[in-house]
Amino acid sequence: MELQSFALTVLILSPIPRVDVLLDPFRPGVLESLNLSPDNLLGKNPRLIIARLTGFRRDGPYANMAGHDINYLAVSGILSQLGRTEEPPYPPANILADFAGGGLMCALGILLALLERTASGKGQLVEHNMVDGAGYLGSMMRYARKTALWDRPRGKNVLDGGCPWYDVYLCKDGAYMAVGALEPQFFRRLIDGLELPELENPTAREDRANWPAIRERFRLRFLEKTRPEWEQIFDRTDACCTPVLNQQELEDNGYEQRLPVGLQASSGLTIGASQSWTGTAIAPGNEGLDMLRQWFGWKLEREFQIVGGGLVKTDIAKL
């Protein structure tokens, strides 16, 4: 439906007195152009939480530009720190800005606003953008630039692939093992499993000049066995060496996604085995009429009509 239509404004305003949270996913100024400013909405429901989520900041040179996860990461500074040395920066799909820095951080803001409402009884505006969300998640990387942990170019630091005992190695069968043996005691367990006792010297280990040679020793050693063989060697040890499992083998082995947080006193709905691997996207007509009846008591042709695939309120005069 055309966003500028009066009918749409009426449609959105209709349930506002009974709504807890309103999500605004549009660019700055869109809701205001529909006479749906935060002041107007809060005037109709003082307990309403209005969550505004944009990609770029709502001010600055990018505010009215289109963008995607990679763009928000780019201007946050985080993308410049991701990837191998001598290669362009590499984004981790759309996990950091869209999901973690965007949706998840915005949900946290909503929860905080709901918590505050229990004390004040008042709603409020929650403003969030993916640039600041991703930047906040990358705070450690930004601060670490002033320390020995991350004071070198991309791909040459301890946690970004520069350190030979914090990296991924190819095995004989084409699969991979992940190594994260940062602490000395874990490094010793790794060396034991690889049967490379000559690399145990802690002083030589910390000398970055030796890292290329150590990496080459690791690379050649891992190529001597298959991933299952390395798994058997490092299983139940503190070597911080684990297989890189792909999604298909997890599915084939019956892996089930669990709730990310477990609450003992108020447990959430479990995620079924089928839902771990097959998601259902929301689409027009997916039980929408039932939801409107359950949430608002609306019925087709009584409170609304379907015009051009969208909803139009029928009782505009009452509003």
What residues form DSSP beta bridges with 179?
A: 167, 241
Return d(Cα 136, Cα 114) in angstroms, integer. Answer: 22
Active site residue 98: yes
The owner of tokens 């439906």 is 1
Those residues whose C-beta lies under 8 Å from the C-beta of residue 50, and which sit 6 or more positions away, are 21, 22, 24, 38, 41, 42, 123, 124, 125, 126
Residue 54: φ, ψ to 5°: -120, 165
Residues 6 or more apart whose Cβ sits within 8 Å of residue 251: 276, 277
- From first CA to last CA, the distance across the chain in angstroms is 20
User: What are the beta bridge partners of residue 312?
Assistant: 305
Calculate Rg over the CA atoms of the chain: 26
Beta strands in 11-80, from DSSP E residues, in sequence order: 21-24, 49-54
Q: Which of the residues 69, 98, 132, 160 is marked catalytic?
A: 98
Beta carbons of 158 and 210 less than 8 angstroms apart: no
Q: What does residue 268 show for φ and ψ, rounded to 5 degrees?
A: -85, 175
Give me the torsion for CA of 107, 72, 2, 45, rounded to 10°.
30
Amino acid identity of residue 205, one-letter, is R
| HEC assignment per residue over 261-281 | CCCCCCCCCCCCCHHHCCCCC
**Partners of 313 in beta bridges:** 304
The residues assigned a catalytic role are 98
